[in-house]
Every structure is written in C-alpha cells, then in structure tokens.
Chains A and B, each alone.
Chain A
Amino acid sequence: MTAAPSTENRVAPVGRVLLGLAGILVLAVAVVADGPVRGTVNALLTLFGSEYLLVAVIGLVAFVVGVAAFVTSREAATQAAPPDPERAVAVPAPGESFDEMAADWRCLLPGAGREHRAAVQERLHRTAVETVAVSDDCTRETAARRVAEGTWTADDVAAAYLAEPTDATDATDEEGWFELLVGRQTPTQYRAERTVSAIADVAGVAQRDEGAREGSEEADR
C-alpha cells in the first residue's frame, strides 16, 4: 500500500522562499537607499543619547529573548512517539487484581482497611465452600459448615482465616507480621496465599512452585 504526500506540503516551501526573498530585498533597500534608515537611526540615537546605549539595549533585548527561549526550549521540543511493537500487548494476568487487592497497603489499617480485608476473605470463603462441596460431593451448607469449623484443610493458617466471620485484623498472627516486617508480604497477602494453596490442594489444582517460577523468570531474562 502507498502513502502519498499531501498537496499542502508541496505549497508550503514556495511561501517560505518568497518570505526569504522579501527579507533579502528589505535588507538590500536598507543598504542602498540609506536615507530613511539613517533618519530612523539618528532619531534613536537622539532618544538614547549615545551609540553604545542603543546597541546595549538591543543586546539586552536579545539576551532576554535568548534566555526565555532557552528556558522554554525543553517543553517546546516535540517528537513523534512511535509504538513499541517488540512485545505482545501487555494485559493483566487472570487473578492479578486479587493479588493487588490482598497486597494493598489499606489492608494494614485497623479500621479503614476492614472493607478491603473483608473483600479478600469473602472471595476466598466463597471459593473454598464451592471447592469443598465439589471435592466432598456434599451440599453447600455442609461445605460451609466444614469451612466454618476449619476442618476442610490441614493448613492452620488457611483454616483459621476462613473459620470465623470476624474481621481478622492480623493482631494475633505472629507469622503474618513477621512476613510484613521482613518486607515480603502484608499479613492479608500472606494468609490469602496460604488459603489459596489450601483450596488448590483440595481442588486438586497443581500449582507451579515458587522456586520453579523464579527459575523460569531467571531463564527468561
């Protein structure tokens, strides 16, 4: 396929050349017919009192305009921004929003973070109940009871996290706070990941382990 030039672009240079010629013509007139020019210069000399002062004022004006042009030059410079086609278009991975929600710093706030923590807990609770109902071939009510009693998994953290409907403010979870202190995860994130692993075990979903994942990322680099 072809991209053709626009007619406007072809007309523009003619105007520029004419403008340039007009400038040269004015300069030539000023040099050759010095009468009117001399008159103007004499008037300005009378106004400023000395030749140096006139030249200095012109110099100062040029200096000020130059500084202004310099200051604004960075913002004024424009350049086309071509696309970056090397990589496939970036989209979030499925479940990434859940990870972001669990890692949100607002989950750390004792009062204001309640809503965030509850949203994480609620989603995991719903999935755990559904998973237990399927794996144990029982009703949702029975599955919900097992989750509430904490008997659905051998993981103490996951069982405790979904066992009671109270807001888990993480105050009693030393392991969770340790994770936070060493800068790895928020307590909510820590508990959510343990719970997801427990649900995956019950559901029989194989997870790629962390070591393998880091290894493959290293290899990708």
Chain B
Amino acid sequence: MTDPSPTHRWRGVLAVTLVAGGLALVAKRPALLSSAVVGVVFVAYARVTSPPSPALELDRRLDEASPSHGDQVDVRTTVRNVGDRTLFDLRIVDGVPPALAVVEGTPRHGTVLRPGEATTFSYTVAARRGRHRFEPATVVARDVGGSWEVEVQIDDGTTVDCTTDVPAAPLRGRTLEAVGRVLADDSGAGTEFHQTREYRRGDALSRVDWNRYASTGDLTTIEFRKEQATRVILVVDARPVAYRAPEGDPHAVSYAVAAAGQLARAIVDNRNHVGLAAFGREPCWLEPGTGRNHALRVQQRLADHAAFGARPPDDAPPVADQAKALQARLENGDQLLVLSPLLDDDVVETVRRFEAEETPVSVLSPDVTDADGGGRTLARIERDHRHRTLRRAGVRVVDWDPERPLSVAVTDAMGAQQ
C-alpha cells in the first residue's frame, strides 16, 4: 500500500474563497463575505477528513482456467472490504495479464463499500497460447471529500493456462551416465532397435532373434539403443529485440516463457535434468535438476524472475557477455535448448559459438513475423535465413507458429528429423 497522498482537489475552492473574501473586505460587500464562508466550510472539511485506510480482499474466478487458444474467458472479480470503515470512493482496475486483451466488459469498477461488503464485476478476455498470470489489481481509495487517496495492489495469483502437454523436448543425443529417454549412440538398455550381432554366451534369451533363428538357423542377439539421461539448459531469449509481436498479439518472450515451462515438464517426465537461464535484462540461472518438484521450480522462476517480465526492458547487457557467463556455468555433457524468435543476428552468432565450443544446441523459435508488407515481410525473410544458417551449422531448429500447439510443432520437427 502506498502512503496516503493529498489530491489538492479543493485548492481551487480555497482560491475562490480567498479572492471572494478579500474583495468583499476591500469593497465592503457583506453579502460576498457571507458567500465566502461556504467555501471556508468546504476547505475546512477537506482538511479535517482523514485518509482512507483500506483493508481489502480479492477473489478472482475464471469460467475456464485452461482454455484453448482463441477461447473467450469470463473473469469475475470480487473485492471485499474486510476493514472496519466504510470506503466511500473505491476505484478498482483489475490486473489483466499483459499479453491478453479484454474483448467484452471492462476490468474497471468504481464503488462504495461498507465494512464486510463486497462488490463483483466481470469482463471477458481472449485467451492466447501461453501461461498468463494476472497482475495485482490496482485499487485507488479516496476519502469522502476526495482530498486524500491511497493506492493498493491486491493479488491472488490467478493464472490462465493456455498450454498443452508436450510429449518430449527436441534434444540432441548427448547423455549422462544415468537412465533417461535420450537415445545414445551406443547399445544398451532401451527400447529402440539398434543392431543385431552374433550370439555370445551369457546373452539373455529374451534378446535372441528367434525369428531369424527359425528361418536361417543363425543364432543372433538383438541390441537396443541405450537410453540415458541428459542435462538440458533452457535458455529464454528475453532481450529487448525479442519483445516483438504484431498488434494485439502476445510477444515472442511470452510464448518462449510458456514453452519453456511446458518443455521443462516434458524433460523431467522423460527422466532428464533441466536447468534455466536467460539472455535478458538480468542474469538468471537455475541449476539443472530433475523430478516434478524441480519442474515446478522452473515454472516458478519463469513466473517470478525479472528477466522474463511481461513488459520489454529498456536495455540489456550484450548477448555475447551473457553467453560467456552461461558458458562458464556449463558442465561437460550439457546441452542448450534456446527459445528465441531469431529476430537478430546476434543470437544466431551466439548459438553458433556454443556449437563451435562443442555444446550442442537446439532452438525452438516462436514465429511472430506476419509478412505484412515492407519491414515486416523483410523480418520474416531474414528470420528464414537465420533458420537456414543455424541448420547448416548442425543446430536443430524447431519453427513454431504459435497458432498451432507447441506439441504439434515439436512432434512434427522430431518426426522430420527421424
């Protein structure tokens, strides 16, 4: 809650009162002097009243907390006065998630609330792909005379989750010595066929290729590709240049942040380790870990850390410096999954440098270009060229049109790769 501040809205009345009173004295006009007394009453009243001290409680309800992309979501916000004084002038502005637009109704509401009384207002937002947390509602409370006001922020952490589960993350084949779901290049425990070889004593009978034995009489053993765990660092490109979007759409950073949350879940579900970093206004680093709790930690960091703010930063340190700091934290065997709209050459250069230093990189690129003529078309063509440049450098690139679910883009890309 901010400190109460005077609005000075009665200052004009004070001025008129003094002018009228002064003129009345100079011109000997008793009637005018009497009228000035009315002003004195107003001014004195404004001075005597005390600032409001609101004690409020917020409850926000969504008709659908996990809508589909493009669905309309009704929001009902209830504000209750839990204090012991009447709040005479309450102006409430709900904290609609920055990436979403209101399509019906209004998130603003003005009312008077007696102690214990509540007010409810509703409006509709259009859901867009991503995980959108409501910002705190802003409440401005004024005293009855409007001469004092206090601003209060109330939050209840409501989130619109417009994402779907992703079966797997687009990773490269570098592994740890622990069982996971990333296919290694050698044979071992796994489910995917790798090769057959001559039977050796001690091979498990379940691994013998009995079909082949039946048809040719040769005793051979089937080998499967080894599945091992890997350490993946999700790197979200949240530099100012990544905060781009056609009018009214969520920007690329909001898509990347939502995708990072989904991918973190998929990575730990496949028994791999996941960490988090950012290229942006502030350094962000979450040590790789595994398990559902760690995936929740990643999502919490994505929701809370300043690097992933919904509003674009004014400035950010050069990406080369941030990449150097990230490189220093990596361990042998780590791989990166960079989430970037690829709207400038610096990020491409950074990815290529990681590859050159033998850190495998995959890129998931939300497409926020719209080829709407002039520079916008140029941006799309340049982005296509950056994709090509990265693929030539051996980087796995997943091009994601946010109009489609992320799971579809990832599955298609992984299918194409195989």
* Stretch of A30-38, A123-131, A147-155 with 4 or more beta carbons under 8 angstroms from chain B: A123-131
CB distance from A161 to the nearest CB of B (A): 14
- B12: nearest chain-A partner, CB-CB: A73
Chain B 1-34 residues near chain A, CB threshold 8 A:
1, 3-9, 11-12, 14-26, 28
Chain B residue numbers with a CB within 8 Å of A50 are none
CB distance from A110 to the nearest CB of B (A): 24
Residue-wise, chain A 198-219 has the 8 Å CB interface mask toward B (1 for contact) of: 0110010111101001000000
- B385: nearest chain-A partner, CB-CB: A130
When the two chains form their complex, are residues B374 and A3 in contact, meaning their CB atoms are under 8 A apart? Answer: no
B156 at the interface (CB under 8 A from A): yes
- B50: nearest chain-A partner, CB-CB: A13
Chain B 211-230 residues near chain A, CB threshold 8 A:
none
B376 at the interface (CB under 8 A from A): yes
Chain A 9-24 residues near chain B, CB threshold 8 A:
9-10, 12-13, 16-17, 20
User: With A5-B54, A9-B52, A92-B244 in contact, do A196 and B11 touch (Cβ < 8 Å)?
Assistant: no
CB distance from A147 to the nearest CB of B (A): 14
CB distance from B77 to the nearest CB of A (A): 11
Chain A residue numbers with a CB within 8 Å of B9 are 77
The distance in angstroms between the C-alpha atoms of A209 and B188, with both chains bound, is 56
When the two chains form their complex, are residues A93 and B372 in contact, meaning their CB atoms are under 8 A apart? Answer: yes
Residue-wise, chain B 94-126 has the 8 Å CB interface mask toward A (1 for contact) of: 111011111000111000000000000000000
When the two chains form their complex, are residues A208 and B372 in contact, meaning their CB atoms are under 8 A apart? Answer: yes
**Residue in B4, B55, B94, B373 whose CB lies within 8 Å of A213:** B373
Residue-wise, chain A 104-146 has the 8 Å CB interface mask toward B (1 for contact) of: 0000000000000000000110010011001000000000000
CB distance from B239 to the nearest CB of A (A): 13
CB distance from B85 to the nearest CB of A (A): 8
B326 at the interface (CB under 8 A from A): no
The distance in angstroms between the C-alpha atoms of A58 and B26, with both chains bound, is 9
When the two chains form their complex, are residues A205 and B54 in contact, meaning their CB atoms are under 8 A apart? Answer: no
B246 at the interface (CB under 8 A from A): yes
The distance in angstroms between the C-alpha atoms of A90 and B9, with both chains bound, is 32
A82 at the interface (CB under 8 A from B): yes
When the two chains form their complex, are residues B107 and A86 in contact, meaning their CB atoms are under 8 A apart? Answer: yes
How many chain A residues have a CB neighbour from B under 8 Å?
Answer: 76
CB distance from A203 to the nearest CB of B (A): 5
When the two chains form their complex, are residues A127 and B48 in contact, meaning their CB atoms are under 8 A apart? Answer: no
Chain A residue numbers with a CB within 8 Å of B98 are 85, 88-89
**Residue in A16, A82, A85, A127 whose CB lies within 8 Å of B96:** A85
Task: Determine chain A's interface SS by DSSP, over half rule.
Answer: helix
The distance in angstroms between the C-alpha atoms of A197 and B373, with both chains bound, is 7
Chain B residue numbers with a CB within 8 Å of A82 are 91, 93, 108, 138, 140
A166 at the interface (CB under 8 A from B): no
When the two chains form their complex, are residues B377 and A93 in contact, meaning their CB atoms are under 8 A apart? Answer: no
When the two chains form their complex, are residues A67 and B15 in contact, meaning their CB atoms are under 8 A apart? Answer: yes
* Stretch of B146-154, B280-288, B331-339 with 4 or more beta carbons under 8 angstroms from chain A: B146-154
The distance in angstroms between the C-alpha atoms of A69 and B18, with both chains bound, is 9
- B368: nearest chain-A partner, CB-CB: A94
A172 at the interface (CB under 8 A from B): no
Chain B residue numbers with a CB within 8 Å of A102 are 374-375
Chain B residue numbers with a CB within 8 Å of A130 are 385
CB distance from A131 to the nearest CB of B (A): 6
Chain B residue numbers with a CB within 8 Å of A4 are 1, 55
- B373: nearest chain-A partner, CB-CB: A207
Residue-wise, chain A 83-100 has the 8 Å CB interface mask toward B (1 for contact) of: 101111111111111111
CB distance from B316 to the nearest CB of A (A): 15
When the two chains form their complex, are residues B8 and A98 in contact, meaning their CB atoms are under 8 A apart? Answer: no
B362 at the interface (CB under 8 A from A): no
**Residue in B106, B374, B388 whose CB lies within 8 Å of A99:** B374
**Residue in A83, A88, A134 whose CB lies within 8 Å of B388:** A134
User: With A1-B58, A2-B57, A66-B19 in contact, do A193 and B374 touch (Cβ < 8 Å)?
Assistant: yes
The distance in angstroms between the C-alpha atoms of A23 and B29, with both chains bound, is 27
20 chain-A/chain-B pairs, Cβ below 8 angstroms: A2-B58, A12-B4, A17-B48, A62-B18, A66-B19, A67-B19, A73-B12, A77-B11, A79-B149, A82-B93, A83-B95, A88-B128, A94-B368, A95-B369, A99-B376, A205-B384, A207-B371, A207-B377, A208-B371, A208-B373
Beyond the given pairs A85-B102, A130-B385, 20 more chain A to chain B contacts, judged by CB atoms under 8 angstroms and listed by A's residue number, are A17-B48, A60-B22, A61-B22, A62-B22, A70-B15, A80-B151, A82-B93, A85-B93, A89-B251, A93-B245, A94-B380, A95-B369, A95-B377, A98-B374, A98-B378, A131-B381, A196-B381, A208-B371, A208-B373, A213-B372
Counting from the closest, the 7 A-B pairs by CB-CB distance are A59-B25, A66-B18, A63-B22, A5-B53, A95-B375, A95-B379, A98-B375
